[in-house]
DNA sequence: AAGCGACTGGGACGGGTGACCCAGTTGGAA
DNA sequence: TTCCAACTGGGTCACCCGTCCCAGTCGCTT
């Protein structure tokens, strides 16, 4: 095995851990499985990290950092607010379909964090980040369609996150594309009611 | 320890397992933890069940069987369709707040089932049950408010399940009651758009 | 070119897991 | 009242887990 400085190894291990969790679930993300995925020995793991817990902590921080691509596209389609919102949600849905295991991993990570008091703040931070991204997209959507939000945008964003979460969870279970498109449309309709023409 | 026939023991163990999962998460639901919760010995466990897997299987079946109380109340408030829908979702939300750990356990069970091909059908069945319950409530709501669904009711129900799931997941993370009420309202508005006066 | 510190591999440890076994005990049918 | 099958307790198994240790090796700096 070639020699790799510890910081790079940490990054490589975090990536490997994420791959393992995506493929097999967090329960299977043992130090041995992670190390095998990264092609390292156990000693390298404990040289880079004090403990598995520390790896998981950093993993969550990392996924918060480069969280899912903004829920809305950069280049927005033309149209009414509802249409733009729906297009944005559908774009997220396409992203979900392209890599379902990743979103499933995110969900598991959240549930995992929720189970220990020490990590609960991390779950909150993860969702705060989602809301922040949603907020930014909603701002753009309103601006482009000549609308303005009549409800605090943070609140609108929080609702959007709830809707996309529900879309994700239910789709992961039944993989019903049509139903999810209906959810996307209904969500867009609901959100558009929180804005008015400017 | 008093003697208990195997079928009763199975039931007692399933209940104990659900309590353990609610309290500590599915990862902590080891045979020993379950047995301790039920006040039994390990031998009694393996007398009643062939394996831990079998217990989990039956546990999921059991929760599907007596799934969460209908999402909507039996006695509906007076009002428009939107109001009735919103009241129903809020009722579910109250139920969630009263026993968050139970809903968290349900979520974990779903995620768990999703991770093994053998159990995926169980997750589907769980959600099919949710949709069925939602459907029944939506029927009543439309009838009482003199409305009729313009979209197949199964589809409306599926959207409702997605919305309540999103509400649940996000609330479990940030425990923001006001935000969840906003979600409930937005969901009710969106759903009401799928019906017309009769 | 020498030497030191960063890094590696392999093996080992204690602890927890699911499963199992078997010698006992007890309730209820005969 | 007898006795057998249903049930129990406790001990044990092999396995996997996270962690640790230590003897070796490689690359940088001087």
Return the minimum-mean-pLDDT range out of A136-145, A176-185, B68-77, B135-144.
B68-77
Domain positions in chain B are 6-64, 68-197
Distance in angstroms, CA of B43 to C1' of D11? 11
Q: Which nucleotide in the DNA or RNA is closest to residue B3, CA to C1'?
A: D7
- Across the interface, which of A124, A166, A172 has its CB nearest the CB of B166? A166
% chain A with pLDDT above 70: 94
Task: Please answer yes or no on whether B170 and A173 come within 8 Å at the CB atom.
Answer: no
Could you identify the residue whose CA is nearest to the C1' atom of nucleotide D26? A3
B85: left (phi over 0), alpha (psi -120 to 50) or beta: alpha
Query: Which residues from the 39-68 window of protein chain A have CB within 7 angstroms of nucleic acid chain D?
Result: 42-43, 45-46, 50-53
A17-51: pLDDT as tens digits: 999 999 999 999 999 999 999 999 999 999 999 99
A95-107: pLDDT as tens digits: 999 999 999 999 9
**In CATH terms, are B6-64 and B68-197 the same topology?**
no
The predicted model gives B45-60 an average pLDDT of 96
| Confidence check: pLDDT of B88 > 90 | yes
Q: What is the DSSP secondary structure assignment for residue B41, as one 8-state letter? A: -
Phi, psi at B51, each rounded to 5°: -155, 165
Distance in angstroms, CA of A120 to C1' of D20? 30
The predicted model gives A87-94 an average pLDDT of 96
Q: Which pair of tokens denotes residue A130?
A: 């989602």
Specify the pLDDT at position A78.
Answer: 82
Specify the pLDDT at position B57.
Answer: 97
Q: Does A172 touch chain B (CB under 8 A)?
A: yes
B109-137: pLDDT as tens digits: 999 999 999 999 999 999 999 999 999 99
Q: With contact defined as beta carbons under 8 Å apart, do B156 and B149 qualify?
A: yes
| Confidence check: pLDDT of A77 > 80 | no
Partners of B122 on chain A (C-beta within 8 Å) are none
Mean pLDDT of chain A: 93
- Across the interface, which of A162, A174, A194 has its CB nearest the CB of B167? A162
- Across the interface, which of B25, B165, B190 has its CB nearest the CB of A187? B190
The predicted model gives A160-189 an average pLDDT of 98
CATH architecture entry for B6-64:
Orthogonal Bundle (1.10)
Q: Which residues contact B72 (CB under 8 A, 6 or more apart)?
A: B88, B91, B92, B137, B138, B140, B141
CATH classification of A68-197, choosing from 1.10.357, 3.40.1620, 1.10.10, 1.10.3470?
A: 1.10.357
Q: Does B23 touch chain A (CB under 8 A)?
A: no
């Amino acid at each position: 095995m070639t020699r790799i400085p510890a910081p790079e190894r940490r990054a490589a291990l975090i990536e490997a851990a994420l791959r393992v969790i995506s493929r097999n679930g967090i329960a299977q993300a043992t130090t041995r499985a992670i190390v095998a995925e990264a092609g390292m020995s156990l000693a390298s793991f404990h040289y880079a990290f004090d403990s598995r817990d520390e790896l998981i902590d950093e993993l969550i921080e990392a996924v918060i950092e480069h969280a899912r691509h903004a829920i809305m596209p950069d280049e927005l389609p033309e149209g009414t607010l509802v249409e733009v919102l729906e297009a944005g949600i559908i774009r997220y849905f396409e992203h979900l379909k392209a890599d379902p295991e990743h979103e499933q991993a995110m969900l598991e990570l959240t549930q995992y964090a929720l189970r220990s008091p020490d990590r609960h703040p991390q779950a909150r931070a993860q969702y705060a980040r989602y809301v922040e991204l949603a907020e930014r997209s909603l701002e753009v959507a309103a601006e482009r369609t000549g609308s303005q939000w009549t409800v605090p945008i943070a609140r609108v964003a929080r609702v959007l996150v709830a809707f996309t979460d529900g879309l994700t969870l239910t789709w992961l279970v039944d993989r019903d594309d049509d139903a999810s498109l209906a959810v996307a449309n209904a969500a867009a309709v609901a959100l558009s009611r929180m804005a008015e023409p400017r």
